[in-house]
A and B are shown apart, each in its own frame.
Chain A
Amino acid sequence: MSYLITKKRKIADDEFDIWIKAPLIASSAGPGQFVVIRSHDGAERIPLTIADSNSETGEIRIIYQVVGTSTQKLSKVECGEYIMNVAGPLGKPSEMCSQKKVIVIGGGVGIAAILPIVKALHRLENHVVTILGAKNKDYIILREELDEYSDELIITTNDGSEGFKGFVTDILSNKLENGFEVDCAWAVGPTVMMKAVSVIAGINVFPVWTSLNPIMIDGTGMCGGCRVKVDGEVKFACVDGPEFDGRFVDWDNLTQRQRQYGDEEKESYHKCNLDGY
């Protein structure tokens, strides 16, 4: 099999925005779902969230950050070239609500994952407050698109180069203190961010959907590598998730399991760079 990259744009120093021709996936993808991509023979299978899809043109959109060997190699595939495998849409779609007050938080490259969620929430007539956080202004992506579907868009950066200086949790706490009665929330981004938002949601008693990103291989429930602990139970992020109410997620266990192949990842990335990728 092979899949054509139809558009490619570098949107930050190490972040790429690509569209891939995959008509079957484009026509069935829902917010919150992901694909497993294997860019070439010998490559890993890596899960990436679907940022957008167009069933008319048969394309799906993936926004990713280069973090290791697989994403580095993927980043070398140009517009008009092909990648070997794209399987999906995987995981359960986000559990949507309508006519509610919703806060959606995206951190770093996780901002890409909240785009389809914000779009769907907007379509279902929710009042959507979107909070974006990143290390600096260069990593605040998809600003215009998210603004279009949000009732309010708030930006924070760690260095204050755009919007408020600080963290998304500062904005969230502030919003709640000022009497915003949130019905439910989404938070997608680095594990530490999702954990911090979940703590606030726990104290203030509202559900917060977080998209978990443990190590995965097949993405179809076959290997059990992506198992996470939620409310004391073992769940497979690939088929039971990837979204779980963050209030019940064992975040420390997730962090510990994400580090499992740290040494091997370094070794592989080193070789990847030596090989000239």
Chain B
Amino acid sequence: MISNIPPKKTRMNERPAEIRAKDFFEVTLGYDHEEAVREAQRCLQCPKPKCVEGCPVGIDIPGFIKMIKDDDLKSSAEILKKYNKLPAICGRVCPQENQCEGVCVLGKVKDYEPVAIGRLERFVADWERGSPLEEKGGIKLNGFKVAIIGSGPAGITCAAELATQGFEVTIFEALHAPGGVLVYGIPEFRLPKSIVNHEIRKVQDLGVTVKMDTIIGKTIKMETLIDEYDAVFIGIGAGTPKFMGIDGTDLNGVFSSSEILTRINLMKSYEFPETDTPIKKSRNVVVVGGGNVAMDAARCALRIGAESVKIIYRRTAEELPARHEEYLHACEEGVEFLWLSNPVEYIGDEKGNLKYIKIQRMQLGEPDSSGRRRPVPVEGDMPVIEADCVIEAIGQTPNRVLLDEFPQLELNKWGNIKVNEDTLETSVKNVFAGGDIVTGAATVIEAMGAGKKAAASIAARIFENSR
């Protein structure tokens, strides 16, 4: 009976806001065994589970949760692994409220919260990291070679899927560390890099080679990969930061979120001068945007030591695209929000350093094509606020490095790679693509879904070619 079920999710412990906002250690602590079992007992075990449909990789969610309830964590981990190669990561960074938890039947009951599927996924994955499943014996190579460009979530997933099936897989990564956005984008306090490294090591244990410092199109030509491999998968991510392009963008103190996050996450500049890459210590930081990246940038700025951090977003809290948890964490840690606001000009001092931001206040008008009410300027309402650092987190456009060097790839009107939606094959035969370079900036799990789907098409295509 539903009346026996607690209406709220089992609380997950977090480190106190005033302490965690000063360091880069993980914010949330995860469930212990007892909490996980208690939460698992909230699952209704629906005969027609909606949550599975809500999951981009179709995890058997009631299945793995039942095994937690039955105290068979090994089986639970096995179920998860069958669908999702990176559960420790997804349990932490998936926007569950828009996916599995958003459609959870329990959550539809008045006053009830959905089952905390993400937290349970993380619990099982973390348990498994401590007590690894027995690996199947050595994988027999099938003689086919696949090249994967980019070691982010799409690339790692595609590689793991193919390697398990006996393909000889090589991942090419442009940066000096593997993981893509998981390493340069998502901060340590939200996704510890030790977890990412663990997952990458496991992919390497499957026989996958990861080559760093290799920019396809520059270090190795795309044509060479096509010649030397039976298939190629492009998972190079979203790429290049957008700027609003307003007056004053060239002032010192105006950054893209990509630069700030790369300095902090990839280059570990929060340990400067122990590490060599510096980060500007600013007093009044303003972040522009309302997505997860904006939350990450703002929370990083606090941790670097800013006195005040404001997020300005042109709509309201209700339209905020960030994960709800990230928004709450940001508020608890002391990030302020200026709703219905948009910067229109950056104003500097005589040395070219940012001093003020002129803001246009907005109000919500008629719904636009996305169904959200469109923000429209309130005439004459243009306050000026002080800031010595502004971080624009307003999205990305496709990175052109590979695309320019290999113009044979057909692109869509946004400049993303065009693919066959069923197979993820591009306009060039035996070349597949998935993740943000195809969809524009999306989520980790969607990129993984694409990597998995591409792996299936690649295997099918290679076997077809070899007949």
Chain A min CB distance to B453 (Å): 25
Q: Are B280 and A222 in contact (CB under 8 A)?
A: no
| Given contact pairs A223-B256, A236-B240, A88 touches B399 in the complex (Cβ within 8 A) | no
List A contacts of B399 (CB < 8 A).
220-222
Q: Known interface pairs A85-B212, A260-B280, A268-B276. Does A217 touch B262 (Cβ–Cβ under 8 Å)? A: yes
**Is A28 engaged at the interface, CB distance under 8 Å to the other chain?**
yes
Q: Contact check, A222 vs B218: say whether CB atoms are below 8 A apart.
A: no
Binary per-residue interface labels of chain B (247-275) against chain A in the complex, 1 for a CB within 8 Å, 0 otherwise: 00110100110110011001110011111
For A44, A221, A234, A257, the residue with the greatest tally of chain B CB atoms inside 10 Å of its CB is: A221
Cα–Cα distance between A28 and B223 once the two chains are bound (Å): 13
Residues of A within 8 A of B220 (CB): 24, 28
CB of B245 within 8 A of CB of A89, answer: no
Answer whether A218 and B252 are a contact pair too, CB < 8 Å, given A25-B219, A234-B243, A264-B272.
no
Interface centre among A90, A220, A239, A260 (most CB of B within 10 A): A220
**B352 at interface by CB-CB < 8 Å:** yes
| A28 and B219 within 8 A (CB) | yes
Nearest CB on A from B16, distance (A): 30
Interface pair B280/A264, CB less than 8 Å apart: yes
A89/B219 in contact, CB under 8 A: yes
A87 lies within 8 A of B176 (CB): yes
Note all chain B residues with C-beta closer than 8 A to A225: 255-256, 259
Q: 0/1 per residue, B269-287, Cβ < 8 Å to A? A: 0011111111110000000
Q: Are A70 and B176 in contact (CB under 8 A)?
A: no
With A and B bound together, what is the CA distance between A259 and B176 in angstroms?
A: 26
Task: Report A253 CB to chain B, min CB distance, Å.
Answer: 5
Contact A224 B256 (CB under 8 A): yes
Which chain B residue has the least Cβ–Cβ distance from A228? B250
Q: Give every chain B residue within 8 A of A227 (Cβ-Cβ).
A: 243, 250
Which interface class (under 10, 10 to 19, 20 to 34, 35 or more) fits B? 35 or more
Q: Contact: A268 with B250, CB < 8 Å?
A: no
Per-residue CB contact flags for chain A residues 28-64 toward chain B (1 = under 8 Å, else 0) read 1000000000100011110000000000000000000
Q: Is the CB of B276 within 8 A of A88?
A: no
What is the size, in residues, of chain A's interface with B at 8 Å between Cβ atoms?
45
In the complex, the answer to whether A256 meets B352 with C-beta atoms within 8 Å is: yes
B274: chain A residues at CB < 8 Å are: 42
When distances are taken between beta carbons in the complex, the residues of chain A under 8 Å from B276 are 42-44, 69-70, 73, 268, 272
B399 and chain A: residue at smallest CB distance = A221
A24 vs B224: C-alpha distance in the bound complex, in angstroms?
Answer: 12
**Chain B residues with CB below 8 A from A260, complex form:** 252, 280
Say whether A119 faces chain B, with CB atoms less than 8 Å apart: no
Q: CB-CB contacts of A207-225 with B at 8 A, as 1s and 0s?
A: 0000000000110111111
Q: In the docked arrangement, what's the CA distance between A234 and B399, Å?
A: 15
A256 near B252 with CB under 8 A, answer: yes
> Are A87 and B174 also in contact (CB < 8 A) when A217-B262, A223-B259 are?
yes
Instruction: Tell me, yes or no, whether A9 is within 8 Å of chain B by CB.
Output: no
Q: Is B267 within 8 A of A45, CB to CB?
A: yes
Q: Which of A25, A87, A229, A268 contacts B272 (CB 8 A)?
A: A268
The CB with the most chain A CB atoms within 10 A, among B214, B262, B268, B278, is that of B278
Q: B372: CB under 8 A from chain A?
A: no
Q: Which of chain B's residues 293-341 have a Cβ closer than 8 Å to chain A?
A: none
Query: Which residues of A79-95 have CB atoms within 8 Å of chain B's CB atoms?
Result: 84-90
Assembled-state Cα–Cα distance A218/B258 (Å): 10
Q: Say if the beta carbon of A271 comes within 8 Å of chain B.
A: yes
B117 to chain A, nearest CB (A): 32
- Chain A residues in 8 Å Cβ range of B280: 260-261, 264
A221-B400 in contact given A1-B213, A24-B220, A265-B278 (Cβ < 8 Å): yes
A224's partner among B184, B215, B241, B277 (CB-CB below 8 A) is B241
Asked if B213 and A85 sit within 8 Å, CB to CB, the answer is yes
- A74 smallest CB distance to B (angstroms): 11
B258-A223 in contact (CB<8A): yes
B261 to chain A, nearest CB (A): 9
- Nearest chain A CB to B256's CB is how many angstroms away? 4
CA distance A239 to B263 in the complex (A): 19
Q: Which of A179-201 contact B (CB under 8 A)?
A: none
The A-contacting residues of B in range 342-364, CB under 8 angstroms, are: 351-352
Report which A residues bind B (CB closer than 8 A).
1, 24-25, 28, 38, 42-45, 69-70, 73, 84-90, 217-218, 220-225, 227, 229, 234, 236, 239, 250, 253, 256-257, 259-261, 264-265, 267-268, 271-272
What would 19 more interface pairs be, CB under 8 Å, given A87-B215, A224-B256?
A: A43-B275, A45-B176, A84-B176, A85-B213, A89-B218, A89-B219, A217-B263, A218-B266, A220-B215, A220-B399, A221-B400, A222-B239, A224-B243, A227-B250, A239-B400, A253-B352, A256-B250, A256-B252, A272-B276
Q: List 8 A-B contacts (CB under 8 A).
A: A1-B176, A24-B214, A42-B268, A42-B275, A218-B266, A220-B399, A224-B259, A264-B278
List residues of chain B with CB under 8 Å of any chain A CB.
174-176, 184, 211-215, 218-221, 239-241, 243, 245, 249-250, 252, 255-256, 258-259, 262-263, 266-268, 271-280, 351-352, 399-401
The 5 closest A-B pairs by CB, nearest first: A264-B278, A256-B352, A224-B256, A87-B213, A223-B259
